[in-house]
Structures are given as C-alpha cells and as structure tokens.
Amino acid sequence: MNKLVLLIPLFLITMCGEAPVTPPAQACSPPLDGSDFTCPPWDGDVLPPKPLIPKEQVKGEIDVWNPHHLMNLQMMFQRNARRTRIEQNATKPSDAINSALDNFWEKQDGSNGSTK
C-alpha cells in the first residue's frame, strides 16, 4: 500500500506536466508572386559528406586485457586515420575529368597562343 501511495503522485507529476514542444519547421522558399522574402536563420545542421572509403568498425566482443585485441584495435584506428588522410588529399573525379578534357582540347585545337 505504501508503494502505491508513493507511485500515484509520481505518476501524476510525470504524466500531467508540460511536455516540451518543438517549434514547427520553417522552409525557405520564395513566394510565387516574386515579392521579397527572408529565410529563417540557418542552424548549421548539415549532413557530413559520405566517405569515399568505408571505415572499419569494432565488431564482436573486445577483451581489453588481451594484448592481441588491443593491437587489433590500434591497427584499426591507424587504418581509419590513413583512410581519412587519403580522402582529404584525393583528387575529386570532376577535377580529374575537367583537367583531362582541358588537356585534350588544348592538344586538339592548340594552345591559347597567337592566332597566326
């Protein structure tokens, strides 16, 4: 009986209290009539770019007292750091294609030298 007396006020406080309300989402789209408009402030929630090379993740149980497991973890972190460094220094495919096309057209039509 004592437990029930303690649970009823707790239930009423948690269920009857105010719930947090999230503000409605605001879109930034210009009106069709072309009048001036302002966009809501940008909150900076941008999805990170997808990695070019998938990262390794820890799978299964890890025994922190086993030196072989710790060495495997260290090697995994090093491989992931190397992958991140490769992604940061990699040439974008669009840049490689554009430079190849520029080189092709320069050889095909000549350089931008004199027109004689």
Q: For residues 75 and 67, is the Cβ–Cβ distance under 8 A?
A: no
CB distance 51 to 87 below 8 Å: yes
Q: What is the phi/psi pair of residue 61, to 5°?
A: -90, 140
pLDDT tens column, 6-62: 566 655 566 555 655 666 666 677 778 878 877 766 666 666 666 667 788 888 887
Which of 8-17, 50-59, 75-84, 98-107 is predicted least confidently?
Answer: 8-17
Q: What tokens does 8 get?
A: 């009823």
Cα 49 to chain centroid, rounded: 5
Q: Look up the pTM and report it.
A: 0.42
- Torsions phi, psi of 46, nearest 5? -115, 140
The three-class DSSP label of residue 101 is helix
